[in-house]
Structure formats: C-alpha cells, structure tokens
Amino acid sequence: MTPISQPAIWFSTAHSSLPTLARDLSVPVAIIGAGLMGLTAALELSRAGVRAIVLERHWIGAGDTGHTTAHVTARPDAPMADLVSSLGADKAAQLWSAMVGAVDHLKTRSEQLNVPFGTVNAWLLGREARLNSELEALLSVGASVFIGTPPAPLPRKQGLCVRSQARFDIAEYLRATAAQAQQLGAEIVEQAVVTAANGNRLTVSSPLGEFTVQAERVIIATHVPVFANPLLLDRLKPTQSYALALAVPSGSAPDILCEDDEDPYHYYRLERGATRGHANEDIVIFGGQDHATGQPVKGSPFRKLESTLQKWLPKVSTRLLREWSGELWTVADGMPIIGTDDHDRYFGTGFAGVGMTQATLAGLMATEWARGRAVPWQDLFTPKRFAASEVPGFLQRGAGFVTDLIASGLPHKLPSSDSLEPGAGGIVRGEAGKAAAYRTLSGQLLQLDPRCTHAGCELIWNALDSTWDCGCHGSRFSANGQVRSGPALTPMKPLE
C-alpha cells in the first residue's frame, strides 16, 4: 500500500530505513504491520522471550498510526451512556477498565523509553443533556469526571472533564519501541509485502525476491485486517478525518484534550512547541470534518477547520505548519473488534477515534494470545459477538450513502477525458465503457479500471487527496492506481 504523502506533525518526510526480508524463515510469531498495535506486540513478546518478526509493507508508521492526532484517552468514541445502555453496566465497566489499562501501559512504557508523555484533562463540549447523561454513565464505570467550566479561551461555558488522560509523541514512541524490541531479539523488516497466506504460511515479496515465512502464530496488525472475511469488513464503517497543526504563542492555548458534539465533530490537543524546535511557541492540533470514505468532498475541510478553530481560540494568532488526513474505522456497537479470524490468526480493527488506546490494547491482547495465555477481555471484543441477522455495517451508513452507491453504477452521461486538466482525475467515458482517468502534471493520461480490486465497487475521485476512494469497504488508491490503504491488496488494473 502506498502511504499517504503528508504524515502527522510528529513524522518527518524522511522515514526509517530498516533491512528488507532476504530469506525464508520459520518463527514462533509473525506480525504483519509496524504500526502501534504491531510494535506493541513485538516489544511485549520480546520482553517475554518470544522471538517475533514484524513484516512491514513500507516503513514504521507508514499506515494509519502515522496519520493520527495521538489523543490518549480511556473514554471511547461512542457515548458511554449508549454503551452502558447497550452492553449493560458490567460489560461497560469492563470496557472502561480495558481502556484505562491501555492508557496506563502507554504511560509506563513511555517513561521507560524516555518518550515525551503528558498527563492532561480531556474535555467534552456539548449540550447540557448530553453532558449530564455522560457524567452519570462515566461515574457508573468508575471514571474520575466532573462538569465544570472549560479553560480559557474556549468559548463554551460548560463541559465535561475526564481527569488524567494524556498526549504523547507517537513517532518517538514507535521508534523507541521498535529499537528496544530489536535489542531484545525481534526482527523488523521493511518493504516486505505479505501477498498471500495459507494458514500461518505467509508469502512475502521484497525487493530481493519472494520468500516464505512459516509461523506458529500470526498477528495481523494492519488495522483493516488483510485476508479478512468480507462479512467482517461489512461490520466496519470507514471515515476520512482531517487535521491541522498550527503554531500559536506559547501559553496562549490550553494544554488539554478536547472535543465537541457537533456533526461533524471537532477535536483538539496541544503539543509543547519547545519539544519540536519551536521556541516561544506551542502547537495546536485541531481535527474533524469527518465524512464517509468514498463520499465526495464539498469544499476544503482544512479551511473549515481553520474557521472553526478561530471560534475556539478567538484572538489567538496562528501559523499553519501542516495539514493531513487519516482514515478511521468504526463498528456499529461502538467497540473495537479484537480476536481471531477464520484461520486462527489474531487481529484488531475498528479503533475509531481512540486508536492510540485501542491499538495498544489490541497489541497487549495479541501478545497474551501468542503466548498461549488467557486473554483478558476477549469475550467483550470477540468478532463472534455479532448476530447473523444484523444489518451489515455499510448499509447502516444511511439511505443517502446507499442511494449514491447504487446511482454510481447506473448508466449516466460521462465526461470525456479531454476535459481533465493536468493533476485532475475522474470517471470518464472510455473506449469500452467507464474509465478511471487521471492526467499527470506532465499531461500524460492514465486510464484504469474504475472498480475496486477488493470487492468490485466503483471508485470515486477524491480531488482533495488525489486518490481513488471506495465507499464500500474503505480502500484507497493513489492517482496512478497503487494501493494506499486496504482492505484491497492489488493495484487498480490499467485499461488497454
């Protein structure tokens, strides 16, 4: 998969350069993916004396972990009041305990690895009824929470505050975690693409050839699990989210986590600028403007974020440093899916907007599974919790989404590729029907099959990111058809 070109503020455009796979091998544990889940498992297994290899398609942090805003919070994305109602008090308390455990683990490992980690309060801004229901639910599961006045200069007069949440430097954490895992015996290889799996026998392609990795246990840490059952993928709703990093005068913005309950919602955190070479400045990270992957983008989400931030921080001068987008995956019942697939390989997905916490949780659970030990909270997050009669996730996205999906496959007048300016793309009228066309900056016309290589759904052109996006299961392709994010594994097919 081709990584998204603009990573989060913690990641430079330069990336790690580790060796690639150069031989066949047999290992106790093979981990696919070097994001937060995969490297968490690699380090914990290495600490336990279990030899593991991490197979990364690109480089450390090239996937979803590299496009985060790195909020560390035990409060799930879904309202806790809804979770208490749907799960019951006991299971909701288990969920809270699992999330708190993951936050504590991140704090402990960050301190051991000498990675910047700051404990801060997390605020929810919203309507009084929502705040009161969340307060009651969070208190019932054991959270330390209160309703009060958010720090200045936030314009809201009232908010809900969860104490002792956190922010950290995710890029530094990944580097330090990988380095310690290697010191303890783990092997991490980059540019190693897992192209096929026959049980625990993996076929891996690298620049040096095609090799076989035979493992006793396989952990799939690609967020969207490769080789997944389509019914599992239908439980997931893929969403695009956008983020800005802006320099502000030091001390002018509160050092908190914060989100509102608008639709689409917004989220905020601070990064101390001095730690990133910005003397006398802090860095505000502000995100939101979410929409379903594969849905046409109207206007610029980044400019809308800037406008909203001006209302959050009135009279605070800002200087734009970076803007990026990422992809979130949510599950209808508000919890991640963590467990084994049909071939007894362990995976985690559906981390929604709390990926730092839930990816860590999934990595810890995968470690216990790979060691043959009892896995805490397994019954809570199991893929087997869904009833066969439930409506697939992609149909739960609303009538408008389904209507658009159906309409895209119906006959309608298409433009000619002659209408495309350099740098533009779109579905056009080809010689044998529809074509996904892109005109390069040099004027060359590329024409590709407009169907997603995962399940055959028609792709749309995303002019903001210059990608081909799939509304069915969230695959994204670069303008030239290379895979940027799964579950698709193979590039778009050129048209003759």
pLDDT in tens, 185-205: 999 999 999 999 999 999 999
Degrees, nearest 5: CA angle 231-232-235 = 95
Rounded CA-CA distance 287/355 in Å is 14
Question: Cβ atoms within 10 A of the Cβ of 49, count?
Answer: 10
Instruction: Tell me the pLDDT of the chain averaged across its residues.
Output: 89
- Check residue 404 and give its pLDDT: 47
Q: Give the confidence band of 411 by pLDDT, cuts at 50, 70, 90.
A: very low
55 — phi, psi (to 5°)?
A: -105, 110
If you count them, how many residues does the chain have?
Answer: 496
SS percent in the chain: helix, strand, coil, step 5: 30, 30, 40
Pairing of strands 209-220, 346-349: parallel
Half-sphere exposure of 482 (CA within 13 A, CB side): 9
Q: How close are the terminal C-alpha atoms of the chain, in Å?
A: 23
The DSSP bridge pattern shows strands 209-220 and 25-32 to be: parallel
- Residue 214: the pLDDT is 98
Would you say residue 62 has pLDDT above 80? yes
Q: Which pair of tokens denotes residue 4?
A: 């998204």
What is the distance between the alpha carbons of residues 35 and 17, in angstroms, rounded to a whole number?
A: 15
Tell me the pLDDT band of 472, cut-offs 50, 70 and 90: confident
* pLDDT (average), residues 49-77: 92
pTM, two decimals, is 0.90
Q: How many Å apart are CA 28 and CA 372, to the nearest integer? A: 11
Q: In the structure encoding, which two tokens stand for residue 366, read together?
A: 């995968």
- Looking at per-residue confidence, does 408 or 135 come out higher? 135
pLDDT above 70 covers what percent of the chain? 92
pLDDT at residue 393 in the model: 52
Closest CA to 230 of 391, 64, 454: 454
- Alpha carbons 295 and 487: distance in angstroms, whole number: 17
- Of 114, 73, 472, 446, whose CA–CA distance to 294 is shortest? 472
| Number of Cβ atoms within 10 Å of the Cβ of 431 | 8
DSSP state of 294: T
Residue 410, pLDDT > 50, answer: no
The C-alpha atoms of residue 184 and residue 303 are separated, in whole angstroms, by: 46
**pLDDT the model gives residue 4:** 45
Checking if the pLDDT of 435 tops 50, the result is yes
Could you please report the per-residue DSSP string of 333-388?
TSS-EEEE-TTS-EEEE--TT-HHHHHHHHHHHHHHHHTTPPPTTHHHH-GGGS-T
**pLDDT per position as a tens digit, 417-432:** 777 889 888 898 877 7
Q: Which residues pair with 319 in a beta bridge?
A: 247
**Rg, C-alpha atoms of the chain:** 22
The pLDDT value recorded for residue 235 is: 86
Is residue 302 a contact partner of residue 242, using CB atoms and an 8 Å limit? yes
DSSP 451: B
Confidence (pLDDT) at 362: 98
Q: Which of 65-74, 208-217, 322-331 has the highest mean pLDDT?
A: 208-217
* Lowest model confidence (mean pLDDT) among 16-20, 243-247, 289-293, 416-420: 416-420
Q: What is the pLDDT of residues 351-405, one digit of tens each?
A: 999 999 999 999 999 999 999 999 999 999 999 998 654 555 545 544 444 444 4
pLDDT of residue 395: 52
**Confidence at residue 274, expressed as pLDDT on a 0 to 100 scale:** 58
User: How does pLDDT run across 437-453, given as a tens digit for each residue?
Assistant: 899 898 898 989 999 99
- Burial (CB < 10 A; 0-12, 13-18, 19+), residue 93, is middle
pLDDT tens string 229-255: 777 888 888 899 999 999 999 999 999
Residue 262 is given by DSSP the state -
Q: What is the per-residue pLDDT across 309-348, written as a single tens digit (0 to 9) for each?
A: 999 999 999 999 999 998 889 998 999 999 999 899 999 9
Specify the 3-state DSSP secondary structure of 173.
Answer: helix
Q: Which amino acid is at 307?
A: S
Instruction: Give, in degrees to the nearest 5, the angle at Cα 326 between 197 and 66.
Output: 70
More confident of the two residues 65 and 406:
65
List Cβ neighbours of 419 (8 Å cut-off, separation of 6 or more). Answer: 428
Q: Helix axis angle, 355-370 relative to 36-47, nearest 10°?
A: 40
Supply angle C-alpha 307, 308, 312, rounded to 5: 125
